[in-house]
Copies of this chain bind each other. A is one copy, B any other.
């Protein structure tokens, strides 16, 4: 396995939720982190044009834009609103020079218990978005989310599902492999290998024991039970040697610390335990 240096590190801005995008960009420059992945709320706050200039002026790469998706809705009108918003997300990803647009696909629509229908809505939504994404040459990265998010965030919960969607939808779509979401999967090695040529991103953090919150208690790499080097090996064996994002939602720990302390820790752990 290749030695990992911060030359492959990308900061997902959710990791330092206490920072604005401007602070994230300046923090990356200050800590020698060569890339970042902004969330759209922070991007809008700073302004897309301003952000694009700041990112470029600081020589940063953009591993992805977080996030498009949320394709599911109780009615056609809701799905159209989501599609329009996703087309805007593609445009923003282009504007900031992102390598891809990450898709968190959406859960089961309010009032429904039909998981199959939700999954069909996701397939159709991505299919409709693909015309615009292909025209813009912006790859779409389907990110399977942990099954604890099936209901409210994403009904694509395994790499097998994401790979099946890629097979069905064709060019322009790939997968984002997030260690937190897929580490438990008995088919992990098989499905990462199957994703060869379509891996658009690799995200790391750690699964804490105990985990006190479904969404906001992710751990710093090394503080949990995920065998990150083993997963990195799988991803590299599948040909992905691109940027690796650190994305940590941690309301009660890392989000309460000084941003520079967080980023220093990210760099140190990235080089030593991933």
Residues of A at the B interface (CB closer than 8 Å) are: 108, 112-115, 119, 146-148, 150-152, 155, 157-158, 160-161, 183-186, 207, 209-211, 214, 224-227
Contacts and interface: CB of A to CB of B under 8 A. Distances in A.
A225 B155 CA distance: 12
Nearest to A148: B148
A82 to B, nearest CB: 18
28 contacts: A108-B225, A112-B225, A113-B225, A113-B226, A113-B227, A114-B227, A115-B183, A115-B184, A119-B186, A146-B148, A147-B148, A148-B148, A148-B211, A148-B214, A150-B183, A150-B184, A151-B184, A151-B211, A151-B224, A151-B225, A152-B209, A152-B210, A155-B184, A157-B186, A158-B186, A160-B186, A161-B186, A214-B214
Contacts of A114: 227
Q: Which 7 A-B pairs have the closest CB atoms?
A: A150-B184, A113-B227, A147-B184, A148-B148, A151-B225, A151-B209, A147-B147
Nearest to A161: B186
A188 to B, nearest CB: 9
A113 B228 CA distance: 9
Given A161-B186, A186-B161, A211 B209 contact: no
Contacts of A115: 183-184, 227
A186 B164 CA distance: 11
A211 to B, nearest CB: 6
B186 A151 contact: no
A146 B185 CA distance: 11
